[in-house]
Amino acid sequence: MKSLVKKINSELEKVFQANGYDKSFAYISVSGRPELADYQINSCFNIAKDLKKNPMEVADNVSTLIKDLEVDGVKVFSNCESCKPGFVNLKINDELLFISLNDVLHDDNIGVYGSEILPNDAPKCILLDYGGANVAKPLHVGHLRVAVIGESLKRLYNRLGIKTISDVHLGDFGLQMGLVIEELKDEGKLDDFTTADLEVIYPKASLRAKGDASKNIEPDLEFNKRAHEATKKLQNNIEPETSIWKKILKISIADLKVRYKELNVFFDYYYGESTVKDIMGPMVDKMIDDGVAYESDGAYVIDVKKDTDKKEMPPCIIRKSDGAVLYATSDLATIKFREENFDADRYVYVVDKRQSLHLEQCFRASKKSGLLKRDKDFYHVAVGTMNGNDGKPFKSRDGGVVKLETLISEAREKALEQLKNNDRDLSNADENKIAEIVSIAALKYGDLSNSPTRDYVFDMEKFLSFQGNTGPYILYTLVRIKSIFEKLNDSEGSSEPMINCDSIIHNIFLKAIRYSDVLLDAYKNYDISLICKYIYELANDFNSFYHEHNILNETDKRKKSLFIMICNIVDRIIRDSLEILAIEIPDRM
């Protein structure tokens, strides 16, 4: 199903070609001044340059040529005017908008087909690395962004027909594991521990090993040494450390799955750094043999600098002087593993922007050392930080890291409070369920509506508000439409809708035909917030329309059908978007 804009552009092409204009200039663009025009043609300047003519003269001619353009036998423009210094301003004919939206409504995919909008060289399969939770450590607020953005990108790709492979890439292998194992041993808890125990044990063990000068706590050097040894034993599959570690992993992963499910985040694979533990050694040996890695101060490194680099690009260290492997080694081995086990055309990492240098080093080192079966793209969605009101990374009142669980339960309580204040006749069970859905929606939408690479201020009050670009506002719009549908009688909406568009309806129609363009923009820019911005504007237009027209009491049957059609379009598009955002919709609010 071709989009309306595509159809218009191909008709334009014919006219341009017939009149000696380059067909690559035959396209309409969304107008920057909606009060003057819906779309405009900006390319008269290019044509004028090509043909050495005056742009205004070209614009005059183009507007005369296309004034009566038709698509499928229907007039395209209700207004088509050249304007200085060389634009053509266009208003789309309501009848045409109406017809194409009617088609969209009768299409299961509401007119969005990746095969039609994606560039020809778009990947068929994308591997996403997101989530990045660490075993034996609780999920904290920093893990929220990478999880929800990654999940939405995955769903966007799937919506556009691109296959995906998603991997949480657990941090399950470093010194933290040795620390936890030794602490469990010391506390005699090896046979019986829960995730709650692990969450207490890790910070305790870490403090014990490192000490804290500000609190006059001396590092426990003997313990520290044991933790390092235990970590090394894991690398060599030695018992009992390996079995203890497996048990920790099992308990931790089961808990992580519950937490991620709460956020509507799902992974195909719960692989981790440890998945590649036996690959790392031979991989590094080969890199040394091949001369890609060389010795530098006892360690082994790969040079990844390029002449064009503007920033410093230190070599990638893959083996320390004591023989230990590093974070980069596990990422490189993971690339090798993924190349051997999957067939992705592109790798997308949704990871904190503070890891940009590390990932860039790994991407380059993997290419240089021939880990890739064929050349392919890597892309790092460099995720910004969630800040508190002070503009610094979000912390708890006592300055500690905020657990995601704490944040979610705070949001839930606040949402519940709001619901109770609203004084609706909801049962307790309903209230709890709705509060759960609304609070998660508020947190996720608050995050997703901010461009991924930018830092943003976490503001629970704002995110939970029913006003503005928030999750609850979007959900409320859908609940409003649902209640309209519930109040309609069966036969209503079946008459032929009247094509009678005031400016609000015209705006809704115009936005609605742009849905697939918005998804494409989000795809190209790795930016889910563009979808949020769009549905927010659509919801705003819908709510103006709702206040302007008495949908349920409209007596003109054909007008009522038109109103119902509008409800349907807005409902379908926002629901479709929320599926991409992985946000659930409550029945009532």
- Residue 202 structure tokens: 């890790």
Closer residue to ligand ARG (CB): 251 or 426: 251
- When asked if residue 129 is in the footprint of ligand ARG (CB under 6 A), the reply is yes
Output the six-digit token pair for 296.
């530098």
Is 255 one of the binding residues for ligand ARG (CB under 6 A)? no
What does the DSSP 8-state code read for residue 496? P
Q: Tell me the closest approach of the beta carbon of residue 258 to ligand ARG, in angstroms.
A: 19
Q: Which is nearer to ligand ARG, 175 or 479 (CB)?
A: 175
Q: Is 52 exposed, middle or buried (0-12, 13-18, 19+ CB in 10 A)?
A: exposed
Q: Which residue is nearest to ligand ARG (CB)?
A: 132
* Beta carbon of residue 198, minimum distance to ligand ARG (angstroms, whole number): 16
* C-beta closer to ligand ARG: residue 82 or 334: 334
The number of residues that bind ligand ARG (CB under 6 A) is 8
**Nearest approach, Cβ of residue 137 and ligand ARG (Å):** 8
Shortest distance, CB of residue 213 to ligand ARG, whole angstroms? 25
**Is 128 within 8 Å of 164 (Cβ atoms)?**
yes
Footprint of ligand ARG on residues 131-160 (CB under 6 A)? 132, 134
CA torsion 208-212-217-221 (nearest 10°) is 50
Query: Based on CB atoms, which residue is closest to ligand ARG, 145 or 159?
Result: 145
Q: Which is nearer to ligand ARG, 172 or 541 (CB)?
A: 172
Select from 403, 367, 344 the least CA-distant residue to 167. 344
Counted residue by residue, the chain has a size of: 589
Among residues 171, 178, 452, 497, the one that binds ligand ARG under rule CB under 6 A: 171
Task: Sketch the per residue contact string, 338 through 377, with ligand ARG: x for CB under 6 A, - otherwise.
Answer: -----------x-x--------------------------
User: CB count, 10 Å around CB of 464?
Assistant: 21
* Distance in Å, CB of 334 to ligand ARG, minimum: 6
The correct pick among 169, 444, 511, 514 for binding ligand ARG (CB under 6 A) is 169
Q: What span, in angstroms and rounded, lies between the C-alpha atoms of 559 and 497?
A: 6
Phi/psi region, residue 264 (left: phi>0; alpha: psi -120 to 50; beta: rest), is left
In the bound state with ligand ARG, the residue whose beta carbon lies nearer, of 277 and 560, is 277
Q: Which is nearer to ligand ARG, 132 or 178 (CB)?
A: 132
Q: Which is nearer to ligand ARG, 349 or 563 (CB)?
A: 349
Of 332 and 513, the one with the shorter C-beta distance to ligand ARG is: 332
Q: Least Å distance between CB 196 and ligand ARG?
A: 20
Residue number, 173 or 542, with CB nearest to ligand ARG: 173
Of 38, 183, 331, 436, the one binding ligand ARG by CB under 6 A: 331
**Residue 341: CA atoms inside 13 Å, Cβ hemisphere, count?**
13
- Give the chain's radius of gyration (CA, Å): 29
Closest CA to 276 of 201, 319, 327: 327
Site string for ligand ARG, 88-127 (x = CB under 6 A): ----------------------------------------
Q: How far is the CB of 132 from ligand ARG (least distance, A)?
A: 3
Q: Which stretch binds ligand ARG (CB under 6 A): 128-136, 231-239, 305-313, 415-423?
A: 128-136
Which CB atom, from 349 or from 515, has the smaller least distance to ligand ARG?
349
Distance between CA atoms of residues 240 and 273, nearest Å: 20
Stretch that binds ligand ARG, among 129-137, 233-241, 257-265, 393-401 (CB under 6 A): 129-137
SS (H, E, C) 174-227: CHHHHHHHHHHHHCCCCCCCCHHHHHHHHHHHHHHHHCEHHHCECCCHHHHHHH
CB 124 within 8 A of CB 163: yes
- What is the nearest approach in angstroms of ligand ARG to the Cβ of residue 178? 16
- If binding is defined by CB under 6 A, does position 580 make contact with ligand ARG? no
Q: Calculate the dihedral angle through the C-alpha atoms of 185, 188, 190, 195, rounding to the nearest 10 degrees.
A: -100
513-518 — which CB contacts under 8 Å span 24+ positions? 513/3, 513/4, 513/5, 513/97, 513/100, 513/101, 513/104, 514/5, 514/30, 515/110, 515/111, 515/112, 515/573, 515/576, 516/3, 516/111, 516/112, 516/113, 516/116, 516/117, 517/3, 517/5, 517/117
Query: Cα 8 vs. chain centroid, distance in angstroms?
Result: 31
Query: Of 114 and 272, which CB lies nearer to ligand ARG in the complex structure?
Result: 272
The amino acid at 335: I
- The CB-of-177 to ligand ARG minimum distance in angstroms stands at 13
Q: Which residues bind ligand ARG (CB under 6 A)?
A: 129, 132, 134, 169, 171, 331, 349, 351
